[in-house]
Amino acid sequence: MSSKQRQFEALVRSLSGDLFRYGYWLSGDEALAHDLVQETFLRAWRALDDLRDTAAAKAWLITILRREHARLYERKLPQFSDVDELDIADEHEAHTPEFAGEENVIRKAMRGLDAKYREPLLLQVLGGFSCEEIARELNITPAAVMTQVFRARQKLKVLLSGDEHEAKLHELS
Amino acid sequence: MNCLDFRRQLNIDPHAADTAFAQHHADCARCAEALERSLRFEGSLRRALQIAVSPQLADSILLAQATREQQQRGVRRRNALLALAAGVVLAIGLGVSLRGASSPIAALAVDHLNKEAFVLAMRQGISDDEVRKAFEQSGLSLANVPAGISFVYCCPVGPYSSVHLVMPTSTGPVTVLYLTTPVVAQRETFSREGWRGVSMPVGQGSLVLLGHDAGQFERVEHLWRSALAAPPDAAPTRS
């Protein structure tokens, strides 16, 4: 097996799960997310020689996936699957019925979130990127990223608590 | 940092706490409670986003990559063969004859000869019938059978059908290849890998002679031109 093939396999095995989740929340459909991730990696294989810094691999792959999503599905609005169709990735100690209920509410709220709020939040929570890195990826200012993740959290918390008044108190202007 | 700044930071990134954030957290009990609530929310948010991933996802991607690679290798190979074939056809069509170099048919003929060099050692003559049968298998009939043939067999030479013969002579064995299609457009002599050769159009096909010594080529060529000629009553036609 060539070193290029080994590098590719390592990337697929370590990052395909994260990319799939990102693709799902971007496209709203598991099958589309699968196609997106597969196409992303096939494009990555052809351009693997361009990847100089392995630490930047995740950001590089997410850039490819976002472009691929824009190319293929930008005219389609996300049509999220029903709540019941989705599973939680790992059984976790905190998955008590109470928490599971809260997570379902969050998922539902995420699906209803405008893409301009949802995407920076996904990059921050799923991708682990800083506001500066998200700004570079989305080609907007770091201040705009901060505003968008602030509002995204605020909207989600409002839906969870039902207390819109309190949330509004902390809104950036 | 005041309470408003602290609460803003909670919604921007509750994990990105600096010194001022930590100080306010220590000084303000209500904001400390807000941080606890925010961290609980972050945990729920993270779990909510962690949808299930098929355990076969990575393998299916690797399979798709391997399959596409294989297909592309096939396409590249086909293109290379097509390019090679186009080159051969072009060279034949133009009647290319380069000094110091040899034509594609010369390369094919020498390659075939090297693979079957053992037949050069055959000295015992074979019957005319065997020779005629070999040509008949290739759809040809001979006007006559030249004397002094020690080997005959229908062989593929590269992509071409041929009748392969050996004729021992006083200067060594001469290999005769009669290609049943008009592969060469004009007479061409060549030298390759220690072999002397000549190719030419004869009848409906092409005649190639090979040997270490070309001294007998003219005589052998005359014999085969005669055998493959098309006399009115015994034409070497395709049967």
Residue in B174, B189, B7, B25 with CA at minimum distance from that of residue B100:
B189
Shortest CA gap A75–chain B (Å) = 24
Q: Is B15 on the interface with A (CB under 8 A)?
A: no
Q: Name which residue leads in pLDDT, B218 or A160.
A: B218
The pLDDT tens digits for B191-219 are: 988 899 999 999 889 999 999 999 999 99
Sheet holding B195-202, edge to edge: B151-157, B160-167, B174-179, B205-211, B195-202, B188-192
Considering all CA atoms of chain B, what is the largest pairwise distance in Å, rounded to the nearest integer? 121
Interface of B with A in 177-216 (CB under 8 A): none
CB of A160 closer than 8 Å to CB of A102: yes
pTM of the complete model: 0.54
Residue A103 to residue B48, Cβ atoms within 8 A: yes
Q: Is B56 on the interface with A (CB under 8 A)?
A: no
Residue B157 tokens read as: 């030479």
The pLDDT tens digits for A99-129 are: 457 788 888 888 888 888 999 999 999 998 9
The pLDDT tens digits for B113-129 are: 887 777 888 888 899 99
The pLDDT tens digits for A54-106 are: 788 999 999 999 998 888 765 555 555 443 443 433 334 344 444 457 788 88
B41 interaction partners in chain A (CB closer than 8 Å): 153, 156-157, 160
Domains of chain A: 3-73 (1.10.1740.10), 94-169 (1.10.10.10)
Mean pLDDT, chain A, integer:
79
The amino acid sitting at A43 is: R
Phi and psi at residue B151, to the nearest 5°: -155, 140
Residue A99 to residue B64, Cβ atoms within 8 A: no
Q: Which of A83, A132, A150, A155 to mutate to test the interface with B (most CBs of B within 10 A)?
A: A150
Please tell me the predicted confidence (pLDDT) of residue B17: 66
**Where, residue-wise, is CATH 3.40.1000 in chain B?**
102-228
Query: What is the residue whose two structure tokens read 């697929």?
Result: A12
Q: Which of A67-76, A160-169, B4-13 has the highest mean pLDDT?
A: B4-13
Please tell me the predicted confidence (pLDDT) of residue B203: 87
Phi and psi at residue B152, to the nearest 5°: -145, 140
Q: Is A111 on the interface with B (CB under 8 A)?
A: no
The pLDDT tens digits for B31-70 are: 999 899 888 889 989 999 999 998 889 998 998 888 888 8
Residue A172 to residue B13, Cβ atoms within 8 A: no
Distance CA B87, CA B99 (A): 18
The amino acid sitting at B94 is: L
In this predicted structure, the answer to whether residue B239 has a pLDDT above a threshold of 60 is: no
Phi and psi at residue B8, to the nearest 5°: -60, -45
Q: Using DSSP bridges, classify how beta strands B174-179 and B160-167 pair: parallel, antiparallel or unpaired.
A: antiparallel
CB of A150 closer than 8 Å to CB of A172: yes
Name which CATH class applies to B102-228: alpha beta
Summarize the confidence of residues A9-19 as an average pLDDT.
Answer: 93
Q: Name which residue leads in pLDDT, B2 or B239.
A: B2
Residue B7 to residue A170, Cβ atoms within 8 A: yes
Interface of A with B in 82-101 (CB under 8 A): 86-90, 92, 94-95, 99
Q: Is B4 on the interface with A (CB under 8 A)?
A: yes
Sign of dihedral through CA atoms B145, B150, B156, B157?
Answer: negative
